[in-house]
Amino acid sequence: MSLIGQYDTDNIFAKIIRGEAPCFKIYEDEDVLAFLDLFPQSYGHSLVIPKRAAARNILEIDSDNLAKVTAAVQKVARALVDELQPAGVQVAQFNGAPAGQTVFHLHMHVIPRFDGEGLGIHAANKADPVELEKLQARLSKRLQG
């Protein structure tokens, strides 16, 4: 059952944290990492993950790391609003495959929502890397100075 199980140290987000896989990083500190979703459901769709917690989901993460992730979600949401001026921001987090989870390292989705634009299909359409790079430059400048 995907809700309960062993943490796989070779999941893609663990590889990103270790620098073994690339990402379009927009923010990092000693506890958390934020990067652009490769298959965005809207322009600016970002992910925030803990760096020091081997937790598959919200049931497993300790409250200290969860608080750090949540604070970073707020930081990223504010930067997305300032930079992209969406009409709304959606924060989502899935636990277990039946709930929509596909990567088993806890993460929060921060998804800008624009008037008249529906939500894209989850983890389905790969973004143009050139566009992601441009967006990464804008957001990381705002978040990391």
Rule CB under 6 A: which residues touch ligand AMP?
12, 23, 37-39, 47, 94, 100-103, 123
CB-CB contact of 50 with 62 (8 Å):
no
122 is catalytic: no
Determine the Cα angle at 138 with ends 37 and 130, to 5°. Answer: 60
Minimum distance, C-beta of residue 95 to ligand AMP, in the bound complex (Å): 9
Minimum distance, C-beta of residue 103 to ligand AMP, in the bound complex (Å): 4
DSSP structure class, residue 5: S
Amino acid (1-letter code) at residue 41: Q
Minimum distance, C-beta of residue 18 to ligand AMP, in the bound complex (Å): 13
* Interatomic CA distance for residues 131 and 141, integer angstroms: 16
Q: Which residue number is nearest to ligand AMP in terms of Cβ?
A: 39
Amino acid (1-letter code) at residue 44: G
Cβ proximity to ligand AMP, 39 vs 43, nearer residue: 39
Active site residue ranges: 107
